[in-house]
Every structure is written in structure tokens, then in C-alpha cells.
Structure 1
Amino acid sequence: MNLSKEFHEQGFHVVNNVYNKDEISTISNFINNLDTTNPIFRKTNDLFAIRQFIKEFPEIKKLLFNERLKEIIKNIGGEDYFIVKSIYFDKPEKSNWFVSYHQDLTISVDKKIEDENFSNWTNKHNQFAVQPPKEILENIVTVRIHLDDTNEDNGALKVLKKSHLKSICRIDSIEFKKETEVFCNVDSGGIMLMKPLLFHASNKNTNEKNRRVIHIEFSNKELPKNLHWSEFSEIENFTKHNS
């Protein structure tokens, strides 16, 4: 089964060896040298995160978008895909933070509008988020770049295979006995591809090893009524778009 077919049928896929050790070291050093007093950083005992990562630090793009990653995005999405959201996560080695099963149902936009097809608006840290029509969510491709070896002991995502095909639904409607749960173990330098409507979760860290991930979402959909993706950014050598 080819990459694109498996990704769209299963809702996820793991690809290792997207980055070599030198590339991962360069990316890690870039992050380690950032000024963490910036208010966009979220720091707790259980989680370190950088919101709007690529928007705030666009120079990271040349480190992340090597030819291997660009070919994968073209394969599963297309040459007209662009960045719509990015965040850096670090689940520290002693973290007790876990995330229960859920779907990713919101997008980041530049403002709030009145539209019956857009609901559940929030505004946190000067960032508007909203649940769009399911056609927009179904179009998004999520790429999770792993800077560390990640397995079920340090917070690798676990997913319900093919659950993205259920469209938008409540977790209490899921019959877990009938679902296939998979841990998405990823090597350092590998990536996990995921559909936002795939039910996913992560456990607490139990092996005292970090789990650093760069989460990037891509789409090729324009938004209606002068609404724009708040983190719109083009991929070098991809087709040009308006935000």
C-alpha cells in the first residue's frame, strides 16, 4: 500500500528517517537558543510549548522543510498545500501530563465573524480559534516532527485506527471494544502524519525521557467571508496562494 493511500484510509502513518542526526541537532539547537521569557511560551512542570511556532520564528522553516518532508506533503496532500498552524511541544522527562481521546476540531483564524457554519469560538493569548465546517477539517493534514525517540512510555500518541471516517462525533459514542488502538512509536528524525478527525490520545511519561514534537497543520482551503488562517505561511517551492 502506498503512503497516500494508507494515510487516507487509516487516518495516520509513521515515516522514519525524514531527518538525519545532524538536522535534528541543528533544529534542537535553534530551539534551545530561543528566549523563553517571550509570552508565547507556555511553561509548566508538565509541558513546555511554543504557540504559533513558525509564525514567530519563520527562520525555522529552512531547517524543517527539507526535500524529504516536502515530497511527503506533496504525496499525501498536493503542491498547493500551505501551513495553517504550528506549535512546539516538549513533554519533560518527569511529566505527569496526559491527554484523553479527542479529535482536533478547531482551526486558528485572524478574527471572529458571524457565520452559522463556524462555531465554538475562543480567544486565548490573542488567538482566535473556531470549529469550521467538517469539509475544512477533513482537508487538513497534520505532520508531527519528532526530535526524540518516542514510544508508549514517554507519550507517543495512541490512535483509534480509521476513526477519522466517523466524521465529527462524541467520544462517548465510540464502542472501544470494536476499535483498533495503535501506539504510534516514532524514532528521532521521524514524523507522524495524522488526520485531525482521527481520535488520538497520549499517556503520562513513565520512562523519564523527553518527547519533543513540532506539530504543523497544512491545508489548501481558502476561508470564507474575508476570514484568514492566522498562521498562514507558504512552503518554499510550492504553488503560491493568498492567505
Structure 2
Amino acid sequence: MTKQYIQNHKQYFLEKGLTVINSVFSDDEIEKMIKCIQNADTSRDNFRKSDDLFAVRQLLKEIPEIKELIFNDTVKTIIRQLFGEKYFAVKSIYFDKPETSNWYVAYHQDLTISVDKKLEMQGFGPWTTKKNQFAVQPPLPVLENICTIRIHLDDTDEYNGALKVIPGSHTKGIYRTETIDWGTETEKICDVRKGGIMIMKPLMLHGSNRTTNDKKRRVIHIEFSDMELPQDLKWSEKLN
């Protein structure tokens, strides 16, 4: 993966708020990640299992042995060259949208961050607390700084719930979905092959349709930032 190739992706990413890079992980690396997750103790609070969804919150904390599989040399190079030298992981989730799942996700922006405690601070709020985990909507500059990598453990297209996005919408601040002007905005479906990654800005409007082809969609979602939070507030999952 040449520097110029990554630079081309960076330019597109900064302008559109997303880019897709395939063939980042081999089939063998993907199978090792899947085994790692399957072998984990799913009885803990951060594991959620239902007919519609299997999800692991704080994945890198819950299954630390997966870190060396995820952060291979290619991924480290992509993070440094696309995001910046000082970016670190601040949130990690695994989810498996099974073949039978009729999970539909409406267009939205990712507007909250995971933090270690609740503090009354100007510009931070509203807050949510679930099972002693704290999430808050921070000021806009914090959200604008975050970059997300989504590692695809399966081929994903419009028939098994690939993300649909509105390219460029990440530049418009908090963008209420009811104000989307479809006369000027264009929807894009983000096909990603198994072992590929989708890189996106969480402020980009995104959603997904129901699965119609009885195929799995398993994704590892990791958010990165290079900002420290003010006062005594800390990222709950900071990982260098």
C-alpha cells in the first residue's frame, strides 16, 4: 500500500467524510478475529445477545487479545497517514447483524462519546448512563476531530445492511435528519469486501437497511481522536 495510494484516500476522506479500503486484512486474519470473539466469556455486562443482534461494547477492553490482530502494520500506517501521528482509540464495539435480523437504522449522526464519569461542564450534554458507563454529547470541535474505522468481517453490500451515507454531510455541523434536502444531497451505499475497512467521520449522516439476502454482517467499529478532554474528564476506553 503506497504512500500515494493512502494520500488519495485521505483527500477523498477529508472531502466526503468516508473512504473504503479493501484487502487490509487477509482471510486468515479475519478468521482469527472471529475465533477470538467466539471464545470470549459472553456473560459479562458489555456483551449483548438477542435474536436480532450480538454486540460487544468496549471490545478492546473486553477481549484485549484481539488488539494485536486489529492493529497490524497496514492499519497503523493508515491511522498515522489519514488521521495523524497522535490519534488513539477512544471507543470500540463489535456487532453481528445475523442473517435473520430485520434491523433497520434510520439516518443519524454519532453524537456521543464514552467517558469515565459524569461532570457538569459547559458545552457537554445531554448525558446518558447505562450500567455505570457514561456517554455525553461533547462540543462540536470534539466530534469533528473523531475518525472511525469499521473493519468488515463479511462481504457487505446493500442486500445485507451495508451503510448508506450522505457524502459531505460531516461538514455541516449537527444536521437534523428532518432537514435533509434530497434535492441537493446524494445517497451512497458503501459496499465493503470481507477484510476491508470503511473509514468515516461520525458526523456524516449514515444509516442502514434491513438484510434481504440472508447473509451475515459482522463489523468491528473503532473510534479515534487526538484530543484530550477538559478538566478531569477522560475517555473511558483510551488506548494508545
Question: TM-score under structure 1 normalisation?
Answer: 0.94
Structure 2 match to 1:238: none
Superposed displacement of residue 177, structure 1: 2.6
Structure 2 equivalent of residue 159 of structure 1: 165
Does residue 116 of the first structure (1) align with residue 122 of the second (2)? yes
Counterparts of 1:7-156 in structure 2 under 5 Å?
7-156=13-162
1:27 maps to amino acid? M
1:81-134: per-residue Cα shift (whole Å, max 9, x none)? 001000001000010111000000000000011112101100012110000011
Count the aligned residue pairs: 234
Question: Matches of residues 172-183 of structure 1 in structure 2 within 5 Å?
Answer: 172-183=178-189
- Paired residue for 1:206? 212
1:187 paired residue number: 193
The superposition leaves residues 35-76 of structure 1 with CA deviations (integer Å, 9 ceiling, x where unpaired) of 222221111111110011001222211010011111111111
Q: Secondary structure of the equivalent of 2:81?
A: helix
Distance 1:126 1:156 in 2: 31
Determine the structure 2 residue equivalent to 1:228.
234
* SS of alignment partner, residue 220 of structure 2: strand
Residue pair 1:101, 1:201 contacting (<8 A) in 2 also = yes
The amino acid that maps onto 1:90 is D
Ranges in structure 2 where 5+ consecutive residues have no aligned partner: 1-6
Q: 3-state DSSP class of the match of 2:126?
A: strand
Aligned to 1:18, what secondary structure does the other structure show? coil
- What's the CA shift for 1:169? 2.1
RMSD value over aligned CA atoms?
0.9
How many Å separate the matches in 2 of 1:115 and 1:88? 30
Provide, for residues 206-227 of structure 1, a one-character-per-residue CA deviation record: whole Å limited to 9, x for no partner. Answer: 1111000000000000000110
CA distance in 2, matches of 1:135, 1:232: 18
Q: Which amino acid aligns with 1:157?
A: L
Counterpart secondary structure, 1:168: coil
**Contact 2:18–2:200 (Cα < 8 Å) also in 1:** yes
Cα displacement (A) at 1:78: 1.1
CA distance in 1, matches of 2:231, 2:120: 9
**In structure 2, distance between residues paired with 1:81 and 1:171:** 29
Q: 2:37·2:63 contact (CA, 8 Å) conserved in 1?
A: no
Letter in 2 for 1:179: E
Q: Which moved more, 1:187-196 or 1:37-46?
A: 37-46
Map of 2:203 onto structure 1: 197
Runs of 4+ in 1 over 6 A off after TM superposition: none
* In 1, Cα distance between equivalents of 2:43 and 2:99: 21
C-alpha contact (below 8 Å) 1:3/1:75 kept by paired residues: no
1:216 to 216, 222, 228: 222
CA distance, structure 2, for counterparts of residue 34 and residue 125 of structure 1: 20
More divergent stretch after superposition (215-224 vs 160-169): 160-169
